[in-house]
């Protein structure tokens, strides 16, 4: 799984990068065929925004969340991705 993290109007520190990679690694426990993850962290005035595009075998998933704290935005964004991946996995298993 290849993870790329970029920042828009924010410097991506090592702590932020490690936090994102730790949280993103949890989505692999539900689905092994994650190919690529691209995370964009953005600061817009008082709002912190985290968005991610995940390339998995057969589909591309997208999630974003906006909070006042960047770490909270990352947490909620990963939760959304996790739910989408579980739903996608269930669809694949039901069709077979």
Rounded distance, CA 81 to CA 54, Å? 8
Is residue 28 helix, strand or coil?
helix
Domain at 2-95, CATH class: alpha beta
pLDDT at 49: 93
Rounded distance, CA 28 to CA 23, Å? 10
Alpha-helix residue ranges (DSSP H) falling in 1-96 = 14-25, 70-95
pLDDT at 43: 93
Closest by Cα among 70, 9, 13, 58 to 31: 58
pLDDT per residue of the chain (96 residues) written in tens, 0 to 9: 788 999 999 888 999 999 999 998 888 887 777 888 999 999 988 899 999 999 887 789 999 999 999 999 999 999 999 999 888 888 888 765
pLDDT at 95: 66
């Amino acid at each position: 799984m290849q993870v790329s993290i970029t920042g828009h109007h924010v410097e991506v520190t090592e702590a932020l990068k490690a936090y994102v990679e730790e949280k993103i690694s949890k989505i692999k426990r539900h689905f092994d065929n994650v190919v690529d993850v691209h995370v964009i962290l953005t600061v817009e005035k008082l709002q912190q925004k985290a968005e991610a595009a995940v390339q998995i075998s057969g589909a591309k998933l997208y999630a974003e969340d906006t909070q006042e704290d960047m770490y909270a935005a990352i947490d909620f964004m990963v939760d959304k991705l996790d739910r989408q991946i579980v739903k996608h996995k269930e669809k694949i298993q039901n069709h077979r």
